[in-house]
Amino acid sequence: MAKVSALQTARYAYTPKKPGVLNLKPESIQLEFGKPTKAVSDQKELSELFKNTYGKPEATFVKGKNPEVKNQIRVGVILSGGQAPGGHNVIAGLFDGIKAGNPNSKLFGFLNGPSGLTDNEYIEIKDKYMDEFRNTGGFDMIGSGRTKIETPEQYAAAMDTAKKLKLDAIVIIGGDDSNTNAALLAETFVAAGMKTRVIGVPKTIDGDLKNDQIETSFGFDTACKTYSELIGNIERDANSAKKYWHFIKLMGRSASHIALECALQTQPNICLISEEVEAKKMTLKQITDYICESIVARAQNNENFGVVLVPEGLVEFIPEMKSLIAELNDTMAHKADEFNKLVSFEDKKAWLKDNLKPASYKTFDSLPDAIAAQFLADRDPHGNVQVSRIETEKLLVTMVENQLAALKKSKKYTGKFSAYTHFFGYEGRCAFPSNFDADYCYALGYTAFLLIASGVTGYLSSVRNLTAPAKEWTAGGIPLTMMMNMEQRHGTKKPVIKKALVELEGKPFKEFAKNRDTWKVKTSYTYPGAIQYFGPAEVADQTTKTILLERGKGKVTSAAKTSAKTEKASAAKKEPAKKAKAKK
């Protein structure tokens, strides 16, 4: 084993807390079924596509009898998609559950994502190796990948591997696309008469894989705390130097959950929410005006500094940009061979002038060449523009600089503007999981084992009541098809798990909206600091503000109130000294 830090050694010794029912002996935990379910939309199409796995009931684990858990089983596990803190603990919970059921059961880790299943590349996970990764970040235990199992050849290869290893089940740990893969694989296996069951586990730091049954996806808590620490550090620096505006792009392509959570934790001057931009049909010019309003107002208070949070997917929600991206995706998908022959940016731009609608080309032509070129970079696995590579934060800085220059010319602005840009993404994906994520992930893994042992397939591991202490959490499973709809992919409609976007009528957004006008002008920064692993539960085990607000158990503490409390406490400390001095 490689040398490890003192923190890593201490984390090895951490025992994750589990829902009360999971502390029973495995054979005393029984699956209780509820009512049949249906998909969120497109029920007819999905019921036809998933003839064997559609409409299954929700399930919850309760005290009872389940002698089948003692059967010897063979299980494969896959880490799929981008990294998220806590993945190793899902595997640890799965491993410990399997071994608690029957010490002779085996767990195989497929290497480098779903391709490990199709290519039959795996390792057997044993005690010593498992213990090297408990409560640690990253996916380096078995690696991850973004391969989609969707062709007849891939399905055949997956079935061949499952037969060779005599697998009773496969657990796929991933986000919405990965768990769509899990649903399709479960359906394929049942249709082929195979015994191999498929269970999913909800993972994504973006926070967009959730619903009433999946309160949060794992990794979101740790990633947001990591980003919020960095944002808080920058806020403190900005408030110290008092001369820079920091534009910070945060992960979250399809949803702005990370940006919203970080805003609730740090109270920046501006936080853009993509879903609101789309709902209000805000143009790039209107967004620029909104940011400039804050800059001008703060300059009047001699505060030529500030912090702006930008979700990485923002450009897809700005109407003119959304139209451009959609048209680029379709045009370049249908004419890929023709476009890929072009080399220079000038040639590509000329080609687009002939192949895009005039309105879309006008938008493309208005962008700085360096930014426009990013729209034409290599596509993602789904054939779409790689939005994370578009430097939206730099685009906004350019737009703001131009607008402020015009305002200065008209003498409506006399301040100074100097900007720095940042992109916080990879900094949070492999962090040591917070106590919450360590506990939650372990419970998800253990629950996945119990779902396997209970004989179900096509389910997503679910642990709920997450704002309560871990012992009060409930464990169970929900059918993957329940979360699905039909969406346009590569020019055709395909079944996918529906992403959960920020709800503008939801409590977290409303709490943010209630406070942002104050934050826009007044320096109201809060500094969360580093993730704490030891200490009182309210410090070490706290979860996100998002989930607390959603469950009606949280609110933002205003900087003014915090400052008042600090001043009151400081005055209280000084009072005895004053009295002593007066006595002398």
What is the rounded average pLDDT for all residues in the chain? 92
User: How far is the C-alpha of 95 from the C-alpha of 75, rounded, in Å?
Assistant: 9
Check pLDDT > 50 for residue 578.
no
Helical H segments across 454-544, by residue range: 507-521, 537-540
The model's confidence at residue 553, banded by pLDDT at 50, 70 and 90, is confident
The model's confidence at residue 491, banded by pLDDT at 50, 70 and 90, is low
Burial 535-553 (b: 16+ CB within 10 A, else e): eeeeeebbbbbbbbbbeee
What confidence score (pLDDT) does residue 554 get? 79
For the ranges 324-328, 516-520, 534-538, the maximum mean pLDDT occurs at 516-520
- Whether residue 367 contacts residue 402, with contact meaning beta carbons closer than 8 Å, is answered with no
Q: How far is CA 581 from CA 449, 567, 568, 573, in A?
A: 68, 21, 20, 14
Task: Given CATH 3.40.50.460, say whether it is the number of domain 222-428.
Answer: yes
Check pLDDT > 90 for residue 357.
yes
Tokens of 414: 């006399």
Domain locations in the chain as residue ranges:
222-428
Amino acid letter, 157:
A
- Whether residue 385 contacts residue 375, with contact meaning beta carbons closer than 8 Å, is answered with yes
The arithmetic mean of pLDDT across residues 397-416, rounded, is 95
Sign of the Cα pseudo-torsion (329, 334, 337, 338, in order): negative
What confidence score (pLDDT) does residue 381 get? 62
What confidence score (pLDDT) does residue 490 get? 66
Put simply, whether the predicted model's pTM sits higher than 0.85 gets the answer yes
The arithmetic mean of pLDDT across residues 525-547, rounded, is 95
Report which of residues 316 and 440 the model is more confident about: 440
Amino acid letter, 12:
Y
Q: How far is CA 290 from CA 75, 263, 272, 401, 403, in A?
A: 53, 17, 10, 13, 11
Question: Scanning the structure block, which residue is given the tokens 């392509």?
Answer: 253
97-146 per-position pLDDT tens digit = 999 999 999 999 999 999 999 999 999 999 999 999 999 999 999 999 99
Could you tell me which residues come within 8 angstroms of residue 347 by beta carbon, excluding any fewer than 6 positions away? none
Among residues 81, 74, 80, 152, which one has the least CA distance to residue 117? 80
The answer to which of 254-258, 370-374, 516-520 has the lowest mean pLDDT is 370-374
What confidence score (pLDDT) does residue 557 get? 61
User: How far is the C-alpha of 94 from the C-alpha of 116, rounded, in Å?
Assistant: 19
Tokens of 389: 């590579």
User: How far is the C-alpha of 188 from the C-alpha of 191, rounded, in Å?
Assistant: 5
Check pLDDT > 50 for residue 563.
no
Per the annotation, the verdict on 206 as an active-site residue is yes
User: How far is the C-alpha of 138 from the C-alpha of 427, rounded, in Å?
Assistant: 11
In a 13 Å sphere around the CA of 517, the CA atoms on its Cβ side amount to: 3
The arithmetic mean of pLDDT across residues 344-361, rounded, is 94
154-189 per-position pLDDT tens digit = 999 999 999 999 999 999 999 999 999 999 999 999
What confidence score (pLDDT) does residue 323 get? 93
Tokens of 309: 């949070």
**Active-site choice (96, 176, 206, 437):** 206
- Whether residue 38 contacts residue 482, with contact meaning beta carbons closer than 8 Å, is answered with yes
